[in-house]
Structure 1
Amino acid sequence: MTLRSQALFIGGRSGVGKTTVAFEVHARLSAARVRHCLIEGDNLDQAYPAPWEHGLAERNLAAMWANYRALGYRRMVYTNTASVFEGVLGELIAAMGEQPKVTAVLLTCTDPIAAQRLASREIGSALDAHIERSREMAAKLDAEAPDWVHRVGTDGRAVSDIAAEIVGLSGWLP
């Protein structure tokens, strides 16, 4: 068992497959009996009006991670669109209350693929706006995610292959 905690942050635009890939990463790690937790960052502050100015996501992460730590967990998989930005990573690491070994992955896909994926899950009048926000965020992520963040393309790839690559990047399997 490792003493120093480890964190795997998975970020990327809407429609890139973060949640789907994270669930497959979780399945692979579980099958290999690697002790870990999976936290979907979007659920930590999903409210209206958005409580971002109160740091609720970070406070909730701190509470959840403290609970996992108390049970002996030392590895965390965390997904959120912006989790691979330098400043956001710093806030998330600070919320963990320690200095974990960090692996960060930016999932990427083309605009048409993101639009297709979003269209398969979005209904109603907000689809066009969601596609545009995804496109804008993809450009921002590409420009502002640090160079040390791993870029992993998802176009035309099986979820299992993407997850295998990410698990390999984490170094969590013997």
Structure 2
Amino acid sequence: MKVTETFLKGCFVIEPTIYKDERGSFLLNYNKEEFIKNTGLNIDFVLENESVSQYGVIRGLHLQRGEFSQAKLVRVTKGKILDVIVDVRPNSETFKQSFSIELSEFENKQLFVPRGFLHGFAALEDNTTVNYKCDNYYNPDAEDGVIYNDTELNIDWKLNEDDIILSEKDHNLKVFTVFKLFLDQNSLL
């Protein structure tokens, strides 16, 4: 396993070792001891989610607030995504900075997203399947987020505007300025 920390502290790209022979391939997606050794983080994942999306679907940018905030370990089992995170930890040196990476079924890279980050992804192929582990349970009352096309964040989703597909919930997310004001007033993270 190769683990590389991004410029956003606590966020890691994880590349598992893939063993190939004439039968096919084998890889170990997650090993808690190796994860701790390579990241210094002792995370207990308690929830695992999976979504299937068509080309152009953007899911995000989401987070869970307060005691329900979540760290995530994201991987793609079919297709390809552009995975995007934004640091919204109030005292972070990289506050409001974003990081994006393409994750695909062929490279098997994973992205570890710590608590205190907005997270979203764009499906770059039809029938893309995304699987992610979370270290906390979902609470609908703690859900929050920022609209994908916020001009202050200025994220390039690698899609034509005409191809983008959003849920009604994602279409109605806040702009970053309103999110930050709410964050400042309520100490959400």
Please classify the TM superposition score into its range, dividing by the shorter chain length: 0.3 to 0.5
Q: Which has the higher helix share?
A: 1
Q: Quick one: higher RCO (CA 8 Å, sep 6+), 1 or 2?
A: 1
TM-score normalised over the length of structure 2: 0.33
User: Normalization by structure 1: what TM-score?
Assistant: 0.35
Q: Which has the higher strand share?
A: 2
